Amino acid sequence: MLEKRRNFLKKMGQISLGASVMGFSPLVIENVEAAARHIAHLTPEAAAQEEGFWYQVQKAWVQSPHFINLENGYFSPQPTEVVEGQIKNVQMVNEMPSFYMRRRQNEDHQGIKQLLADLAGCSPEEIAITRNTTEALDTVIAGLDLKKGDEAIMTNQDYGNMLAAFDQQSRRFGVKNKIIELPLHPKSDQEILDLYEQQMTKRTKVILVTHLINISGQVLPAKKLADLAHSKGIEVIIDAAHSFAQLNFKIPELGGDYLGTSLHKWLCTPVGLGMMYIKKDKIKNVWPLFGDKSHKPDDIRKFDSIGTRPCSAVLTIANAIRFHQSIGAKRKEARLRYLKNYWVNKVKDLPKVTINTPFEDARSCAIANIAVKGKTPNELAEYFYKKHRIFTVAINNVAVKGVRITPHLYTTTRDLDKFVKAIEEIGK
């Protein structure tokens, strides 16, 4: 596997020489790699507080100086490494347009899938590159052979697109959807397991588990939920839009049968890239959204028949993976959690402040949601932006009302100090 990967990266380098394009931006990556060697002896939690190291990482992004962006939940800005990589890939594809598409694209696509599979701890025969989580998961939801009377379980905090896809299955085929209400501050994993279990019947075919809930930042015990479902013969779809490359895990460790993620979120690839994972023996159970006659029903490549692909963006996944690895997945998770705790701990006890996110490390990471008494979510988000030039997003969900705060690796503690001051001004 490693050999294959090395050959692929070598080949990318050769294309780079041949067409004077592509390759990696050496300064950024090497600076981060060198800084990482200095802190290699530290635990991820200790490394999370090494501001000297994070200074090198922060320099990997160019961000507008006109406001502080604490809304990194929509998608991640790409580090310079990735932006430059994509420009070079666009140039390369345009220098040898259909020659590239006809002679090189497929092999490169498989090479990128191999890199993703290595990162995700699964086989390239279990993944397809999609445009985003929505495409990955809605393909699964629409492609499963669910029939009238079959039941599916989901929660009131799952992402709207997935709930809408299940709703369509209900209206179209008579699938019965059961929507449970998740607590914002669960007392234990068992509390969540019980909520799902109470809805499971002999007709339950599938559950949807959002690994990291976007509106509140809560992390669900995905593996325990998957084990519970499997013990009753129920399949498991995992929404890993926010957890992949934010939390450090390998996909099979979550125990899901189907999983979708957006690579443009925490892996920091170009926008418009996602990944669908289907456990090998489950591939045959899912109809592709677009018909395919070129592959067998148990071949993941049946999902690749989507027409012409954004191949230069796909190639740039290699740059994003290398950047991610230069930091280290464990360190990245620890730093993101540290940044969230940094501001949350300073404001959580203010009289008017409510944090709609669990405090335990295992139940949250980068994202937290804050409400301030007397302000609607929109008013609060506008206050942060208009008065303090801090950009956030108002969450007006039935289950969660507040403002979502999502720092990123380029966020400095100085930025967060400014944010804390802004909260103190109205939260006392």
Ligand X SMILES: Cc1ncc(COP(=O)(O)O)c(C=O)c1O
In angstroms, what is the minimal distance from the CB of 222 to ligand X?
12
User: Which region among 111-119, 173-181, 235-243, 299-307 touches ligand X (by CB under 6 A)?
Assistant: 235-243
* Residue 368, both tokens: 């937290």
In angstroms, what is the minimal distance from the CB of 327 to ligand X?
22
In angstroms, what is the minimal distance from the CB of 275 to ligand X?
11
The contact mask relative to ligand X for 94-133 (x = CB under 6 A, - = no) is --------------------------------------xx
Sequence-ordered alpha helix ranges (H) in 236-316: 251-254, 311-315
Cα-to-chain-centroid distance, residue 14: 31
DSSP secondary-structure letter at 362? G
Using CB under 6 A as the binding rule, the residues of this chain from 270 to 289 that contact ligand X are: 274
User: Which region among 79-87, 201-209, 237-245, 251-259 touches ligand X (by CB under 6 A)?
Assistant: 237-245
CB within 8 A of 425, min separation 6: which ones?
none
Is position 159 an interface residue for ligand X (rule: CB under 6 A)?
yes
Q: How many Cα atoms within 13 Å fall on the side-chain side of residue 52?
A: 7
Backbone angles phi, psi at 204, to 5 degrees: -70, 125
Looking at the Cβ atoms of 26 and 160, the one nearer to ligand X is 160
> How many residues contact ligand X, by CB under 6 A?
12
In angstroms, what is the minimal distance from the CB of 30 to ligand X?
31
Looking at the Cβ atoms of 1 and 164, the one nearer to ligand X is 164
Residues paired with residue 404 on neighbouring β-strands, in sequence order: 369, 393
C-alpha to C-alpha distance for 357 and 218, rounded to whole angstroms: 6
Crossing angle for the helix pair 2-19 and 317-327, nearest 10 degrees? 120
In angstroms, what is the minimal distance from the CB of 393 to ligand X?
10
The contact mask relative to ligand X for 241-270 (x = CB under 6 A, - = no) is xx-------------------x--------
Is position 411 an interface residue for ligand X (rule: CB under 6 A)?
no
Is position 239 an interface residue for ligand X (rule: CB under 6 A)?
yes
Burial (CB count <10 Å: 0-12, 13-18, 19+), residue 428: exposed
Is position 210 an interface residue for ligand X (rule: CB under 6 A)?
yes
Choose among 207, 201, 195: nearest CA to 166.
207
Residues paired with residue 395 on neighbouring β-strands, in sequence order: 402
Which chain residues interact with ligand X by CB under 6 A?
132-134, 159, 161, 210, 214, 239, 241-242, 262, 274
